[in-house]
Structure 1
Amino acid sequence: MSERIPNYNYDADEVLNDFKSKFAWPKRDEVQAVVKPGKMPLRLLLCALITAVVGGIAYYMMLPALNVHDTQLYLFLILLVVVFAGSFFLVCRANKKAERLEYVKKKTLIPVVIVAVIAVVMLVGFLVGATIFRASAYSDLMTVQNSDFDRDFSDISYDEVPRIDASRAKTLADQQLGSLSQYKSQYVVADATTQINYRGVPCRVASLQYADVFKWVNNTKNGLPAYILIDVVSQKVTVVNCVEKFGSGIQYSPAEYFNEKLIRHLRFQYPTKLLDTPNFEIDESGHPYWVTASLTKKIGLFGGTDVQGAIVTDALSGESKYYPIDTVRKDKSLNWIDVVYSDQLLIEQYNYYGKLKKGFWNSIIFQNDVNVASSGNGYIAMDDDVWVYTGITSSKTDSSNFGFILCNQRTKEVRYYQNGGAIETSAMESAQDAVQNFGYAATFPILLDIEGQPSYFMSLYGDSNTVKGYALVSLEDKTVVGTGLIDTNSDAKALNTAVENYINAMKDKGWIAKTVNAADYVKDEAEIATAGGEQTGGAAEPSAKPSAPTDSKTITGKITDIKSSVNDGNTVYYLQVDGVYYYIRVTDCMQVLLLQKGDTVEITPQGDAKDGFAQAAAVKAK
């Protein structure tokens, strides 16, 4: 139009057409109306309230640590951002009014950027802690010391090592609980049991849990009334009534649902701590505690998991105290604590040590001097601590071990023994082959020193998960096997028979002198701890009752309490008379099935009472 002469009379249509040719009108769908909703401060406040409510519920369920090393924290933050953005979209009614949609889209770019930043931080955190870049740091997580097998294992006797594993201990606990009418319909045994040393004896201890949510509603006010102690040597099972002994049930446990749920209780007490799975333990008086490792990440943001301390929680009151790991190692008053480092963490750290000590690429390509823990692990009681045992094998083959390690679950001391031979699973197969006519299965073996020879010891299980016998297999030669079966012998006799047969097998190989008498090596059967009350050793029941002597004559009195248990398939009755529990198998005295509280009985004791318990040779109603 600038070419037109001013004030000249032009045709109107011509001018209009010229204007249209120079300016294009937008189409209807190309028009974007950006309208800011009214009362924006109020809408933002409502979004914040919605985010706070959802975030509070999410925190209560997720329980992330307020710690930059916890991946759960980053996921929790992303959830908060997503909830805020979603609530902003709904509060602004962007789904109802199109003119507000563009405004909401522009404003939600900020949450998108925040989520992207969090994702980048997590990615960088994983990368800076990746083994490909930090192989040396990972291999330094664990210090391994060479040790001498003959020196360390010479004092471990075959009659003092665990004869049952976790699955069998759980079965015994289930049987014991099922025999007690006051518990069996309301509670079940928790799946997890903890291997501990209790009063110098290897034991497993298990907490209870509610049978279902309705039983929880009915009983949660009083908590869990008891826990179960399983002597893994004698297989004796004891239900310890916390209400009677300590005046309170277990109020804090994983079986609870709300604030008394253990992990939630710990999170509220220690909001910044990285928490491992709590372990149920008891001190020397039998008082129940939860021991929870406090973790740290030593490599990058999320790599190099290690323990920095332990939180000890009173299972009855919920009171907790944190101890640095050095205090746990050195303070003798805490020696009752057995499990701070989980077996999974110890084996994971050893695998880092074995694979990465010569670099990441060596572990992948050259594999010079690369070794890893074999599949499976066992437990050994030594120096009043629990040690995890596992064989060490090449990463290229699993046909044999060239050594093994012991890892202290309280101090993380690691000992390496350069004693090579058959891998554990191979030894288990040899033991099973020796009794293949019976179809028994072998437990994961424990290493012992038998006449100077490293030897695998294992129990043999039947279909009902009961101990049917014992086997010994040479570490150096898996064809050297000795077995003893309970089907034809007592438990103690079967154990001694396995040792005798094994020593004779070593004599046949020429490993030990022909003059060695196998009978001289076995233990007195009366001194071997067995189930059913025949043991002279073993872990005593935590009890406030004093020991009371009994004489070789009879005792007459009224029954003040009756309890029963099932030990290795044998029902045992405990009759309390004059403050002492006298126990006897039903197979030895069928009359006990007819006795009731308040009946007068005549009991013939067998030996003196110990910790309020004595074996009865005979029981007769008066």
Structure 2
Amino acid sequence: MIYFLSLLALTLNPFVWKKKIRNKRFIAAQTGRFVLGLLLVFLMTYFRLIDHTWQAFLSYGSLFWGFFLLLDMMYKKEKTVSVNAAAGLLLLLFFAYLHFLYPLTVTKAKYDFAAAKTTIVAKPEASMDEQHIPVVPEKYARYKSEKVLGELSHVSYYELGHTSLQKIDGHLYWVTPIEYSGFFKWLKSHKIPGYIRMSAENENANAVLVKKEMKYVPSAYYFENLKRLVRAQHQTPILFDPSFEPDESGKPYYVVAYGYYQKLRQIPEIQGVYVVDPQNGKIRNYTLKNLPGFIDQAIPSTVAEAWNTWYGENIHGFWNKLFAQEDMKRPTEWSQSDEVNGVFDHNLELNWFTDFTRPKSGSGAMVGYSMLNTRTGKMIYYASANGLLNGKSAMNVAEKTFKQNKYEAGIPNLYTIYGQETWVVPLMDSNHVLRELMLIHGKNENVYSAETDKRTLFDSYKYALATKLGDDHAVPTDSALLKKMTGSITHVYRYYDEEAHQTVSQFMVDNNEKIFTVTSGQNPYSVFLKAGGQVSFQYVDTNERVSAVKTLQIEGKK
């Protein structure tokens, strides 16, 4: 039925047809116009895969139909042809208005749409389980995946697809689908051997090939193309970019989000997803309210980027965005990455994360950050993050720390670790090989840990929190990190820290092999510690031999 629109390419003036119906040149011209109309409809439906809706017709058809109506000016001597030309000109003006002026008039409406999905809260209440904090950067995962890809037979047929962070069986992985490298490679193969998976939690893990043959993928052609397969069965919804998501058993699926536009194709609203089995092409439809548990991403990153931008920049409408910029904030822009990053929260639910800064160029502090749930589309904005380092500043701190090594910082992510908002920053060499891991305190860039392994990294960060945040008695807030001990001192060692201008005392107590460290800044009486004295204290428990004392009570001293 959609191809009947090709008839609009013909001259729609009965007086012209009546006079020239026997004119061969006229019939040839009309035939050419009809063929051109067929070609345009084919291109828009087969390649662009546009939705079959009246909004799509207005958005695209006004340009093409207006052009064909203006072509009727070649018959300007005939009756009412001027009406055709005027209608064509109006359609072209409508197209220009719809695409260039109308979007400016709905600037505030876009903010209202995003704000309706947003809840403003203070800082997160729960700390992230360090086991599930990904420390492997995407670039390193792709570097490892390239090695696995190179081991395939007929490797020239394939290339890596888009790498995404996924939760599979309670753990986080970087998952990369394999795609065809071109049309002729698809003709020769007609099957994808599987996908590549690598732990995002374990920096020592290797990428592995999961052998699951697939036929319907985004890089295939004709009706083996994933989105074309979906469009053939579902003509009216807007189809968004697919995501690759294996289930808990490792079986691969593609998830194609669908929805509709508001405000004449200006505001995308996600309604649900089509889940495609790439092995047999079977499609299932799920709304956002009844998504299967294994699906992490129902809201595409491009949609999340738009919603965040509207929420930050459009608060008081177009003119404020252009001039005064009152109450305006901008999401961080990354040069080689999406503006939003996938972050799993303490419930292991995927969120699109981005931090916001002031419109002023070069601002190093954020004014807040957002977490957009990728299953529900609901967004939480954390306003209390005002003054924290933004993502780019965290990258700068990491790269300057290893300036001599010339390491490149990966995209950082912000987590609540031990009750403190903390940037997790991986560092790689020029070949994208992971070399160092850093945890950087969100408010104080001088409080950080840098290690080559995850376990030591977090232990060192506990120690840094306890010793470098001075009088912040709320650190660390996770009570599981603080332990109490009472005992008799067996050994004491004391030295003066010239950099900190204070005396550091290290001591041991009976029946314990740990070495405890306390400074004169924490407790001025600590300089009088001696063997045989009785002490009660709280310390930061780590797996290291040396632990930092948080509070110290010496017998006989208040």
> By the TM > 0.5 criterion, same fold?
yes
Aligned to 2:14: none
**Structure 1: which amino acid aligns with 2:169?**
R
CA contact (8 A) 2:297 2:375 kept: yes
CA deviations 1:244-266 (Å, max 9, x no partner) are xxxxx322112112121122222
Aligned to 1:419: 385
CA contact (8 A) 1:471 1:481 kept: yes
Distance 2:195 2:59 in 1: 38
**Greater alpha carbon shift after TM alignment, 267-276 vs 132-141:** 132-141
1:140 correspondence with 2:113: yes
CA contact (8 A) 2:276 2:284 kept: yes
Aligned to 1:482: 449
Aligned to 2:542: 520
CA contact (8 A) 2:107 2:314 kept: no
Distance 1:349 1:123 in 2: 24
Distance 1:518 1:438 in 2: 32
CA contact (8 A) 2:312 2:356 kept: no
Among 427, 438, 441, which residue is 2:405 paired with?
438
Aligned to 2:321: 363
How far off its partner does 1:516 sit? 6.4
Alignment of 1:363-382 (within 5 A): 363-376=321-334, 377-382=340-345
CA contact (8 A) 1:51 1:83 kept: no
Distance 1:435 1:84, change over 3 A: same
How far off its partner does 1:133 sit? 5.2
CA deviations 1:564-596 (Å, max 9, x no partner) are xxxxxxxxxxxxxxxxxxxxxxxxxxxxxxxxx
Distance 1:522 1:390 in 2: 34
Distance 1:128 1:375, change over 3 A: closer
Q: Which has the larger radius of gyration?
A: 1
1:50 correspondence with 2:24: no
How far off its partner does 1:363 sit? 3.5
- Aligned to 1:411, the other structure's residue is in SS state coil
CA contact (8 A) 2:69 2:87 kept: no
Aligned to 2:468: 508
Distance 1:454 1:185 in 2: 45
TM-score by length of 2: 0.72
Alignment of 1:93-104 (within 5 A): none
- Aligned to 1:396, the other structure's residue is in SS state coil
1:315 correspondence with 2:278: yes
How far off its partner does 1:290 sit? 1.7
Distance 2:163 2:67 in 1: 40
CA contact (8 A) 1:444 1:458 kept: yes
Aligned to 1:62: 48
1:118 correspondence with 2:140: no
CA contact (8 A) 1:482 1:502 kept: yes
How far off its partner does 1:49 sit? 5.4
How well do the aligned residues superpose, as a CA RMSD in angstroms? 3.3
CA contact (8 A) 1:126 1:303 kept: no
1:75 correspondence with 2:73: no
Distance 1:46 1:386, change over 3 A: same
Gaps of 5+ in 2: 1-17, 335-339, 477-517, 519-536, 546-558
CA contact (8 A) 1:70 1:274 kept: no
1:391 correspondence with 2:363: no
Aligned to 1:496: 455
**Structure 1: which amino acid aligns with 2:178?**
L
**Greater alpha carbon shift after TM alignment, 447-456 vs 125-134:** 125-134
How far off its partner does 1:484 sit? 0.8
Aligned to 1:597: none
How far off its partner does 1:213 sit? 3.2
- Aligned to 1:502, the other structure's residue is in SS state helix
CA contact (8 A) 1:51 1:84 kept: no
Aligned to 1:400: 365
Aligned to 1:409: 374
How far off its partner does 1:55 sit? 3.9
TM-score by length of 1: 0.65
How far off its partner does 1:430 sit? 0.9
How far off its partner does 1:173 sit? 1.4
Taking only the aligned residue pairs, the percentage that are identical comes to 20
Distance 2:543 2:416 in 1: 12
Gaps of 5+ in 1: 1-33, 90-100, 243-248, 486-493, 524-622
- Aligned to 1:387, the other structure's residue is in SS state strand
How far off its partner does 1:114 sit? 5.0
Among 141, 166, 170, which residue is 1:169 paired with?
141
How far off its partner does 1:405 sit? 1.5
Number of residue equivalences: 451
